[in-house]
Amino acid sequence: MAATEPAPAPSPLPTLSSRADFEAFQRRAQDRWRQLWEGDRTVVSVSIGSCSIAKDALAVLGACREIAGDRAVVREVACDGACWMEPWLEIKRPGQPPVIYGNLDPGDVPALLANQLEGKAIGVRAEQPFNSIPPLAEHPFYAHQQRIVLANAGVIDPYSVEEAVARGAYSAYLKVLFDLSPEETIAEVTAANIRGRGGAGFPAGIKWESGRKARARPKFVVCNSHEGEPNVYKDRRIHEGDPHRILEGILIACIACGAERGYNYIGGEYPLAIQRFKRAVADAERLGLIGRNVLGSGKDVFFRVRTGGGAYICGEGSALMYSVMGVRGQPRTKPPRSVEEGIWKRPTVANNTETLAAIPDIVNKGGAWFASIGTEKSKGTKLMTVQGPLKTMGLVEVPMGVTMRTLLFDVWGGMREASLFKGVQTGGVSAGPLTEEHLDLPIDFDSLADVGGMLGSGGFAVFDQHVCAVDFARYLTAFNRYESCSKCVPCRLGNPALVEIIDRIRFGRGSLDDLPLIERTSKHIVELSLCGLGQVAPMPLLGMMKQFADEFRAHIVDGVCPAGVCPISAGDEALAAGD
So where are the chain's domains? Answer: 39-138, 161-371, 381-464, 469-576
Residue 571: predicted pLDDT: 57
Q: What is the DSSP string of 124-183?
A: ESSSS-BTTBPBGGGSHHHHT---STTTTTTTS-TT-HHHHHHTTTTHHHHHHHHT--HH
Alpha helices in 69-127 (DSSP H): 109-113
Residue 3: predicted pLDDT: 55
CATH match for 39-138 among 1.10.10.10, 2.70.70.10, 3.30.420.40, 3.40.30.10: 3.40.30.10
- CA-based torsion, 173, 185, 353, 301: positive or negative: positive
pTM of the model as a whole? 0.94
Residue 449: predicted pLDDT: 86
Edge-first strand order for the sheet with 121-124 is 72-77, 42-47, 89-92, 99-101, 121-124
User: pLDDT for 529-556, tens place per residue?
Assistant: 988 888 999 999 999 999 999 999 999 9
Residue 63: predicted pLDDT: 96
Q: What is the DSSP string of 313-368?
A: GGGSHHHHHHHHTTS------SSSPTTTS-GGGS-EEEEEHHHHHHHHHHHHH-HH
Residue 573: predicted pLDDT: 45
Q: Do 317 and 341 contact (CB within 8 A), yes or no? A: no
**Backbone φ, ψ for residue 350 (5° rounding):** -115, 130
Closest CA to 385 of 232, 267, 540: 232
CATH number for region 161-371: 3.40.50.11540
**3-class DSSP state of 198:** coil
Residue 309: predicted pLDDT: 83
Closest CA to 354 of 458, 424, 451: 458
Q: How many CB atoms lie within 10 A of CB 127?
A: 9
**Backbone φ, ψ for residue 265 (5° rounding):** -100, 105
Question: How far, in Å, CA of 312 to CA of 51, rounded?
Answer: 21
CATH number for region 381-464: 3.10.20.600
Task: Spell out, as residue ranges, where the chain has pLDDT lower than 50.
Answer: 1-2, 573-577, 579
Residue 118: predicted pLDDT: 86
CATH match for 469-576 among 1.20.1440.230, 2.60.260.20, 3.40.50.1580, 1.10.510.10: 1.20.1440.230
The answer, yes or no, to whether the previous bond of 271 is cis (omega within 30 of 0) is no
Question: Which H/E stretch holds residue 236?
Answer: helix 234-241
Residue 12: predicted pLDDT: 87
